[in-house]
Amino acid sequence: MEKQCSYMKALKCRECGHEYALEATHVCEFDFGPLEVVYDYERIQGRLTREVIQSRPQTMWRYRELLPIAGEPTVGTQVGYTPLVKADRLAKRLGIRELWVKNDTVNYPTLSFKDRVVSVALSRARELGFTTVACASTGNLANSVAANAASVGLDAYVFIPHDLEQGKVLNSLIYGARVISIKGHYDEVNRLCAEIAGKYRWAFVNVNMRPYYAEGSKSMGFEIMEQLGWKIPQHTVICMASGSLLTKIHKSYQEFSKLGLAQSHPWKIHGAQATGCSPITTAQKAGLDFFKPVKPATIAKSLAIGTPADGFYALKVMKETGGHGEDVTDDEIREGIRMLAECEGIFAETAGGVTVGVAKKLIAQGRISAGDSAVLCVTGNGLKTLDAVAGHAGETREIRPSLREFEAVLALDKPDLARS
């Protein structure tokens, strides 16, 4: 029995509109369309005001009425409300009037935006009576499921492709989760997880719990609008794996606009991928409504999904908002990581390098005008993908502990200072 503080009405097929009970299920029986949570916006309207939101703690749960749980959150209650940084130095470097970085590299507790989706999925999983949670992951999701499950004593099984970065693997193992490494790409991991989910009564956060999980991404958009002074940004650049985050940030803008919580004006949503795994942006650039699956080969392993579950809907959002897709090479990803670090003091993982690199391209192409304002969604922390930048971040200068040797080095940088 759902409590009265739930504002969810049902799960609904995005294709045929057929409605389902609010259980752990994610595809329509008739056409295999994805299911999405529907809310009672009439009841939310008037209850969720700017004042109510501002009176609550600074976490993603301050928008609780628009998140899909029935009672109070019980997992990840501290997640979200990460900084929105005014990135003036990066703006100058990229040639745009105003630039903001939504900095989820410091999200709590596992330093990526995945803590948002996991806190929702696990809170909902407990409401539905699950005691074992699981996921198919490109790394960050596994970290977040492992940590958040540990924090409340849920059993966790996380499934990852075998070739992930050491940092991502250790960041799952340390919490005591069972880490299953699959000899194959993410798509094969995902297929196996669908089979397992059909057999065991486990809450797979991005399989049978996917409708709830995906809604958690909206909180990133809600925060951006509130932090901009209840405004929807003109341009938002978002990196894509399955494409879910991109579609949900768009949904967050629609919801705040519908509820009168943010000023409504046209906005553009731009999608970013790595060239080595760019099924969605390749289709967007070719003007197609459907993507062609690919075999990933990129240093942006967190984004390496060759058959993106929400790719079709991500294409639709870009088309409807007049946004664009672009992709960047491994070298451009590293350059993006370095630019963000040097200009703003933010060390992002490869996915952040993808976002910055693509923003640079879109500005240079004039698709984001130099006179406009843009938000870049930076979704994960560079400390977890050190392998990607090792050997590309400059070199230390080793000397003996002698002033003379130091000044010899200093003279290379600042001849005047070293002479005096």
Other Cβ atoms within 10 Å of 19 Cβ, number: 12
E strand or H helix that includes residue 317:
helix 311-321
Does residue 16 bind Zn ion (CB under 5 A)?
yes
- The site for Zn ion, by CB under 5 A, has a size of 8
> Which residue in the set 135, 147, 160, 245 belongs to the binding site for ligand PLP (CB under 6 A)?
245
* Nearer to ligand PLP among residue 48 and residue 249 (C-beta): 249
> Which residue in the set 177, 294, 351, 376 belongs to the binding site for ligand PLP (CB under 6 A)?
351
User: Out of Zn ion, ligand PLP, none, which partner does residue 247 contact, by CB within 5 to 8 A per kind?
Assistant: none
Does residue 15 bind Zn ion (CB under 5 A)?
yes
* Smallest gap from residue 32 Cβ to Zn ion (A): 7
Rounded to whole angstroms, the Cα distance separating 415 from 420 reads 9
* Nearer to ligand PLP among residue 48 and residue 348 (C-beta): 348
User: Out of ligand PLP, Zn ion, none, which partner does residue 243 contact, by CB within 5 to 8 A per kind?
Assistant: ligand PLP
User: Out of ligand PLP, Zn ion, none, which partner does residue 119 contact, by CB within 5 to 8 A per kind?
Assistant: none
Among 37, 81, 90, smallest CA distance to 340 is for: 90
* Nearer to Zn ion among residue 35 and residue 351 (C-beta): 35
Contact (CB, 8 A) for 189 and 163: no
> Which residue in the set 240, 317, 363, 388 belongs to the binding site for ligand PLP (CB under 6 A)?
240
- Distant-in-sequence contacts of 56-63, Cβ < 8 A, 24+ apart: 60/116, 60/119, 60/216, 60/219, 60/222, 60/223, 61/119, 63/218, 63/219, 63/222
Strands 84-86 and 98-103: antiparallel
From residue 162, alpha-carbon distances to 40, 152, 182, 184, 347 in Å are 42, 28, 5, 7, 25
- The sign one gets for the Cα dihedral 114, 120, 122, 125 is negative
Q: Which stretch binds ligand PLP (CB under 6 A): 50-58, 89-97, 219-227, 241-249?
A: 241-249
Q: Which stretch binds Zn ion (CB under 5 A): 11-19, 108-116, 143-151, 281-289?
A: 11-19
* Nearer to ligand PLP among residue 59 and residue 350 (C-beta): 350
* Smallest gap from residue 379 Cβ to ligand PLP (A): 3
Does residue 101 bind ligand PLP (CB under 6 A)?
no
Instruction: Pull the structure tokens for residue 99.
Output: 């630039």
Instruction: Pull the structure tokens for residue 176.
Output: 């005591």
Does residue 241 bind ligand PLP (CB under 6 A)?
yes
Does residue 109 bind Zn ion (CB under 5 A)?
no
E strand or H helix that includes residue 135:
strand 132-136
Q: Which amino acid appears at position 334 of this protein?
A: R
Per-residue mark of binding to Zn ion, 28-67 (x: CB under 5 A) = x-xx-x----------------------------------
* Nearer to ligand PLP among residue 48 and residue 270 (C-beta): 270
> Which residue in the set 8, 13, 274, 333 belongs to the binding site for Zn ion (CB under 5 A)?
13
Instruction: Pull the structure tokens for residue 143.
Output: 């970290």
The end-to-end CA distance of the chain, in Å, is 78
Please state the length of the chain. Answer: 420
* Smallest gap from residue 111 Cβ to ligand PLP (A): 9
> Which residue in the set 12, 114, 185, 210 belongs to the binding site for ligand PLP (CB under 6 A)?
114
Would you tell me which residues interact with Zn ion (CB under 5 A)? Answer: 13, 15-16, 18, 28, 30-31, 33
